[in-house]
Amino acid sequence: MTERPERWVVCKPAVSSHGGVVATQHQAASEVGARVLAEGGNAVDAAIAASLALAAVEPWMSGLGGGGYMLVRPAGEARTYAVSFGMVAAATLNPADYPLTGEVGADLFGWPAVLEDRNMRGPLAVAVPGQVAGLGLACERFGTWSWADLVAPASELAERGMEVDWHATVAIAASAPELASDTGCAAAYLADGFPLAAPWTGDAPRIRLGRLADTLRQLAEAGPTDFYTGEIAQAICADMAALGGRLSAADLAVYEAQIEEAPVTGYRDARIGTAPGLTAGPTLADVLDRLTTSLDPGEAPDGDTYLAYAEALQAAYAERLRGMGAGTDADRASCTSHLGAADRDGSVVALTQTLLSPFGAKVMLPQTGILMNNGIMWFDPRPGGPNSIAPGKRPLSNMCPTIVEFADGRRAALGASGGRRILPAVAQLLSFLVDFGMSLDDAAHCARINMDGSDVVEADARLPAETLALLEARFALSVHQHGVHPSAYACPNAVVWEPDSGSATGAAHVMSPNASVGAS
């Protein structure tokens, strides 16, 4: 544990409203979602508008060039639905483009190094993006507002330019050497070759994200299909071809997001809806199944509680990496956004979206201003494994949007950003709510551990000494302050709807300087 000269007690109170709430990783996006609710939109409308807004205010995390998963529990139905719009490898991808160098890789996953880091950054790292298809499908199936009206706030934000506050400066500076290698990224993020920084006094500077504002206006007018078969698609493919990427018009034209009934598992007296397929959803169900027998909840989490969490997470991760992907899948600090929304009628949404790495592939397409994902890095570059690189294939991801239905009728939408740290955070938040009956505010502020498949438990320094000692007797222990940067833990956002009062409560990631709850 790194000692620090000052210790802060940080509190970010949960926010409640009878008109609904939206919790995101950026205040501007939360406000967009809250305005949609205030003007009569439902939780899906608010989530879509907030999702698109994030592309203009927090582009290093997620955007039009990425993908994700959304869980929807509509107020008038007894089912939870999963909207899947994850990224897919291009049909013409050639695994031979990613030869191993024999060195140890420097990526988030611990893969062996690939020549020129082609799986990490640049045009060959780009997978087919699903973000626009997923949001468009959710709008068509569950929304009440028009697509154009939901895109409009993001377009307005992009036209104003992204505010470069101190947190944005840190994000840009951390990726500056790689951003400098791409003409579009360098022009947008590195003025005169350096990251912008706010002055000591006065307003923070703003930057235009290439032609993103124009693209959003086109997307609003032409609809989401334009991204896959229209003018936007043509521009994307022309730019990718010029850069030497594999993404083609055929890849975009055949891409489809999917809606299905979400897998549901029982935990205590609650029902848990999880993301399907190659996500962390199945592994969350495994963790909860183990906790059913290993955790005997008391009045509050104690040392035995955190030991049970660590053991369940370690066993479930071992099974996940053995059966769903290669054993070195060690995403430790990914670039992801999570948001939750609840409306006045009781519909709740959990939406996780990503570019994968910070700034994705570090490729901003000149004609559109779209920052592209580096989804190929999700794959193991070694051949012959369950998660090896292959054309047309979907990779294993760590996204874990979750919806909880309590026996008393309450509904919660949970999720987080943070790569492999996502699942431990979601599992513990869920347990705090279900096993210990915590309020959302208390759960959001409660100390957590991180155990993501290794033999090391990362523990919040706020935990009692006896709890740390109990964990250290069983595992290698690394104690960390819960800070802003660097961050040892996932960044959760959550909402809860209560039928008795008709009110919704949202809690945003406590340590983030920008995460907030917007209330209608």
Per the structure block, which two tokens stand in for 484? 């802003």
User: Which residue type, as a one-letter code, is found at position 387?
Assistant: N
**Cα 407 to Cα 377: distance, rounded to the nearest angstrom:** 41
Beta bridge mates, 339: 351
Beta strands 162-163; 112-114: pairing state: unpaired
Catalytic residue among 336, 368, 402, 505: 336
Q: Is 79 exposed, middle or buried (0-12, 13-18, 19+ CB in 10 A)?
A: exposed
Q: Is 500 exposed, middle or buried (0-12, 13-18, 19+ CB in 10 A)?
A: exposed
- CA-closest candidate to residue 358, choices 332, 326, 392: 332
| Residues 518 and 34: beta-carbon distance below 8 Å | yes
DSSP 60-104: TT--TB-EEEEEEE-TT-S--EEEEE--B--TT--GGGS-EEEEE
Q: Measure the CA angle with vertex 118, ends 114 and 120; round to 5°.
A: 95
Sheet containing strand 456-460, strands side by side = 449-450, 456-460, 476-480
Q: Is 10 exposed, middle or buried (0-12, 13-18, 19+ CB in 10 A)?
A: exposed
| Residues 237 and 231: beta-carbon distance below 8 Å | no
Q: Which helix (H) or strand (E) holds 351?
A: strand 348-356
**Cα 380 to Cα 388: distance, rounded to the nearest angstrom:** 5
Q: Which helix (H) or strand (E) holds 49?
A: helix 43-57
Beta strands 456-460; 476-480: pairing state: parallel
Residue 352 annotated among the catalytic residues of the structure: no
Residues assigned a catalytic role: 336
